[in-house]
Amino acid sequence: MLDLRLKSRQWLEDSHGNIIMGEGRQRILELIDRTGSINQAAKLMGMSYRGVWGKIRATEEHVNKKIVLTEKRHGSRLTEDGKRLLADYARLKDECQRADERIFRNIFKIEGF
């Protein structure tokens, strides 16, 4: 039996190909939620603060909602819309992966998944 696995990725983009949400932004939001800091999230991602902030702003502009709230005294945190976007994206990835695996098994007649 062949040892095959399907790998797939999902991301959201606009009609011009600009990424709105993907695995990188998911990780950024998860780190902000965990650390309470955009700067700390940037360091953990190996990115500049400006780069991370630019990605957050681009996503906010596309979804027309504030997803990260920054306060000088209290750091940064996800808004309810940010938490919902993160949860919805995680759910999308999970459901797509399950559907992809069903299709993969059907096409390649692989059992045991």
Model pLDDT for residues 13-29, shown as the tens digit of each residue: 999 999 999 999 999 99
Q: What is the pLDDT of residue 5?
A: 82
Q: How many CB atoms lie within 10 A of CB 16?
A: 5
Q: What is the pLDDT of residues 42-90, one digit of tens each?
A: 999 999 999 999 999 999 999 999 999 999 888 999 999 999 999 999 9
What's the rounded Cα separation, in Å, for the pair 59 and 5? 32
Is a pLDDT exceeding 70 seen at residue 1? Answer: no
pLDDT at 109: 77
Q: Predicted confidence band at 112 (pLDDT cuts at 50, 70, 90)?
A: low
- Sketch out the chain's domains with CATH numbers: 19-105 (1.10.10.10)
